[in-house]
């Protein structure tokens, strides 16, 4: 094998190239929604296992073994500190109930489903190992979820729930993994003692992180406006982690609470009724995002470098004989690659089942996001937390105590109880986490693309369909006479309305007939508008400011209903007049 010398120039060139590739990958992610995680992992595979298969080794394996515990611890601290900085307490409280339900179903369901698969498919009888593996792959990656959800057509509540789940699940995975690792160390034989020790450890770590965060806010107020405030904050974070770990308390929990206090200073001030004005420069968050980008970029490259899919019978033969609890055929038992592929496929399908159950429960309770159910169960990407936690159980001091300086195991009688209980699962954990990160990121990218395309097509189909309306909106004459616009779109004047406005309703006035017995001709009916009598001003003294108004004298109306007589002809009128004349006397 050709081992190339890693000199200063080669190292600098490689570091610069990796950072540039990570930056270009992030730009590609924004444009095409193809996660840069895949590009970074492929770069690690290229300069690691792929070149190694051609007998070319750029980075010796001893270097990777040496930096593994330091790199994993640094990535763990940065992840939790970043999670605390990005947790908004007000936002969490507004969607707290539904977010806890959705995150809890996904995380706990993944843990128990993975433990069940490990027991029945791989024959792992130690339930704690299965739960630890399920805990490692139980959270979704905020580095993938947040950029994808920022560009999809979903409701704001859906985006908020998924963003909070991505942050909370990372924290939940790390905290639960630390708890299970403490249990596997065998520090206590009683379950009650284990729970008591863990609670006291985490509560003490959280209290130390809270006090340190409040004190650091006062220091930041003193140095406000001075340069290098973020670098001092990172230095304080590393010192806090080291001091808390030195007293055998969880430094990761302290880092989480430290970031939470810095980001939510006003909420903690109101909570503890402090009469102090805290100052926290928002540029610290921006600079921390740059540091997180560098750490994330190199860790995924490191993950590709350390990937070795060389599983044989020894790696997966966790029991000496074929276990009776397995549901796979006996002829597959003993072939490590086949068993690993079967377990990987079943775990991958189990993730979808758990996500579907969680999405159904969430949309059943919160009905206003029911149309975004597909986004909830398609968002399954695993990321940096899974990669870090997969290597964490094999980088802690209790595991390293049973290895030599070259990384080879010591004699069996010098093994620690922790090492003897977990060493055989290292290949399974690393390979399972690596493959699930790649597969779930690809599946999420394809799934979101299909969902977006189907939703846009559905919206186009709905826009072509004429909406159902009542008869008043369908009637052509109703539209014409109610809106003043013709059916063809031309404006028109409603003659009926104009006539009614111009001519008020007329009253028919009838006159009483004369009471004499002589038949009278019928009076003609006159239609006059009803109006009040207006007094005329005498012509000698007219009003100067008013004009003389001449109004017709109103005719008295009658309310009696008299039947109208038949009109007489001219001949009948003459005959009637002739009867009225007195007879002419003859002389």
Q: 485 with 543: CB under 8 angstroms?
A: no
Whether residue 191 lies inside any domain: the answer is yes
Q: How many CB atoms lie within 10 A of CB 461?
A: 9
Q: How many CB atoms lie within 10 A of CB 346?
A: 19
Q: What angle do CA 355, 438, 136 make, to 5 degrees?
A: 60
Q: What pLDDT does residue 171 have?
A: 80
Give the CA distances from residue 37 to residues 40, 73, 140, 146, in Å, rounded to whole numbers and listed in that order: 5, 20, 13, 14
Rounded Cα gap, residues 82 and 256, in angstroms: 8
Q: Cα Rg for the chain, rounded, in angstroms? A: 45
Whether residue 498 lies inside any domain: the answer is no
Q: 241 with 259: CB under 8 angstroms?
A: no
Which residue range forms the structural domain that includes residue 283?
Answer: 64-461
Give the DSSP H/E element, type plus range, for residue 2: strand 2-3
The DSSP result for 226-291, as a single string, is -TTHHHHHHHHHHHHHHHHHHTTS-HHHHHHHHHHHHHTHHHHHHHHT--------THHHHHHHHH
| Domain tally, the chain | 1
End-to-end CA distance of the chain: 173
Whether residue 371 lies inside any domain: the answer is yes
Give the CA distances from residue 12 to residues 9, 52, 487, in Å, rounded to whole numbers and listed in that order: 5, 21, 76
Please name which of 129, 224, 117, 134 lies closest in space to residue 421, comparing C-alpha atoms: 129
Rounded Cα gap, residues 265 and 260, in angstroms: 8
Give the CA distances from residue 93 to residues 87, 103, 268, in Å, rounded to whole numbers and listed in that order: 11, 14, 14
Residue 148 makes CB contacts below 8 A (sequence gap 6+) with: 33, 35, 379, 444, 445, 448
Whether residue 520 lies inside any domain: the answer is no
Please name which of 171, 293, 295, 283 lies closest in space to residue 233, comparing C-alpha atoms: 283
Q: What pLDDT does residue 364 have?
A: 92
- What is the number of helices (H) and of strands (E) in the chain? 25, 4
Q: What is the three-class DSSP state of 21?
A: helix
Give the DSSP H/E element, type plus range, for residue 528: strand 526-528
Instruction: Please give the model's pTM, rounded to 2 decimal places.
Output: 0.67
489 φ, ψ to 5°?
A: 105, 0
Whether residue 545 lies inside any domain: the answer is no
* Residue 364: burial class (beta carbons within 10 Å; 0-12, 13-18, 19+): exposed
Q: Are strands 2-3 and 507-509 parallel, antiparallel or unpaired?
A: unpaired
Whether residue 512 lies inside any domain: the answer is no
Whether residue 489 lies inside any domain: the answer is no
Give the DSSP H/E element, type plus range, for residue 358: helix 336-365
**Local confidence pLDDT in tens for the 587 residues of the chain:** 555 556 677 778 888 888 888 888 888 877 777 788 888 888 888 888 888 877 777 777 777 777 877 887 888 788 788 878 877 777 777 777 888 899 999 999 999 999 999 888 888 888 999 999 999 999 898 778 877 887 788 888 888 888 888 878 888 888 888 888 888 887 545 556 666 766 777 788 889 999 998 888 888 888 777 777 778 888 899 999 999 888 878 788 888 889 888 888 888 888 877 777 776 777 777 777 888 888 888 888 888 887 765 544 344 545 444 454 555 555 555 566 777 888 899 999 999 999 999 999 999 998 888 888 998 988 999 988 888 888 889 888 888 888 887 778 888 888 888 888 888 888 888 888 988 998 998 899 888 888 888 887 777 776 666 555 555 555 555 555 555 555 444 444 444 444 444 455 555 555 555 544 455 555 544 445 544 555 545 554 444 444 455 555 555 544 444 555 566 777 777 777 776 666 655 55
* Residue 20: burial class (beta carbons within 10 Å; 0-12, 13-18, 19+): exposed
Q: What is the three-class DSSP state of 573?
A: helix
Rounded Cα gap, residues 397 and 425, in angstroms: 17
Whether residue 433 lies inside any domain: the answer is yes
Q: What pLDDT does residue 346 have?
A: 92
According to DSSP, the residues that pair with 528 across neighbouring strands are 507
Q: What does the chain come to in residues?
A: 587
- Residue 308 sits in a domain whose CATH number is 1.20.1530
């Amino acid at each position: 094998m050709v081992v190339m010398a890693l000199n200063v120039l080669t190292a600098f060139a490689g570091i610069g190239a990796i950072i540039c590739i990570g930056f270009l990958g992030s730009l590609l992610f924004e444009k095409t929604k193809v996660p840069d995680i895949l590009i970074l992992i492929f770069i690690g595979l290229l300069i690691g296992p792929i070149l190694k298969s051609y007998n070319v080794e750029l980075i010796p394996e001893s270097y990777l073994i040496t930096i593994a515990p330091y790199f994993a611890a640094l990535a763990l601290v940065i992840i939790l500190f970043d999670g605390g900085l990005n947790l908004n307490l007000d936002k969490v409280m507004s969607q707290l109930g539904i977010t806890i339900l959705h995150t809890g179903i996904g995380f706990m369901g993944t843990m128990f489903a993975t433990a069940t698969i490990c027991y029945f498919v791989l024959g792992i009888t130690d339930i704690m190992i299965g739960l630890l593996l399920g805990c490692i792959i139980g959270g979704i990656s905020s580095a993938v979820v947040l950029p994808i959800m920022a560009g999809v057509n979903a409701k704001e509540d859906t985006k908020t729930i998924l963003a909070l789940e991505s942050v909370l699940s990372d924290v939940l995975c790390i905290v639960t993994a630390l708890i299970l690792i403490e249990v596997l160390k065998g520090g206590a034989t009683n379950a009650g003692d284990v729970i008591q020790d863990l609670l006291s450890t985490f509560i003490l770590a959280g209290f130390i992180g809270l006090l340190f965060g409040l004190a650091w806010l006062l220091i930041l107020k003193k140095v406000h406006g001075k340069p290098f405030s973020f670098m001092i904050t990172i230095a304080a974070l590393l010192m806090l982690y080291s001091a808390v770990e030195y007293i055998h308390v969880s430094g990761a929990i302290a880092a989480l609470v430290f970031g939470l206090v810095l980001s939510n200073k006003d909420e903690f001030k109101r909570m503890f009724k402090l009469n102090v004005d805290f100052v926290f420069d928002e540029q610290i968050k921006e600079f921390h995002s740059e540091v997180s980008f560098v750490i994330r970029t190199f860790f995924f490259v490191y993950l590709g470098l350390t990937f070795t899919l060389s599983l044989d019978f020894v790696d997966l033969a966790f029991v000496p004989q074929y276990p009776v609890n397995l549901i796979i055929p006996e002829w597959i038992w003993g072939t490590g690659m086949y068993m690993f592929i079967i377990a990987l496929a079943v775990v991958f399908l189990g993730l979808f089942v758990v996500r579907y159950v969680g999405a159904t429960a969430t949309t059943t309770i919160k009905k206003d996001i029911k149309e975004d159910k597909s986004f909830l169960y398609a968002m399954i990407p695993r990321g940096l937390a899974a990669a870090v936690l997969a290597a964490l159980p094999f980088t802690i001091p209790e595991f390293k105590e049973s290895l030599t300086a070259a990384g080879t195991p010591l004699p069996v009688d010098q093994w620690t109880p922790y090492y003897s209980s977990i060493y055989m699962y290292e290949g399974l954990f690393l390979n399972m986490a690596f493959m699930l990160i790649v597969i779930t990121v690809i599946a999420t990218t394809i799934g979101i693309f299909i969902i977006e395309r189907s939703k846009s097509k559905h919206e186009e189909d709905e826009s072509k369909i004429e909406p159902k309306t009542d008869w008043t909106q369908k009637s052509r004459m109703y539209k014409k006479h109610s809106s003043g616009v013709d059916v063809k779109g031309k404006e028109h004047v409603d003659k009926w309305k104009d006539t009614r406005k111009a001519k008020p309703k007329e009253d028919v006035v009838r006159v009483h007939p004369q009471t004499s017995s002589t038949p009278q001709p019928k009076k003609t009916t006159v239609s006059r508008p009803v109006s009040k009598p207006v007094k005329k001003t005498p012509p000698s003294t007219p009003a100067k400011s008013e004009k003389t108004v001449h109004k017709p004298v109103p005719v008295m109306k009658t309310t009696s209903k008299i039947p109208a007589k038949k009109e007489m002809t001219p001949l009948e009128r003459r005959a009637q007049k002739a009867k009225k004349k007195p007879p002419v006397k003859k002389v």
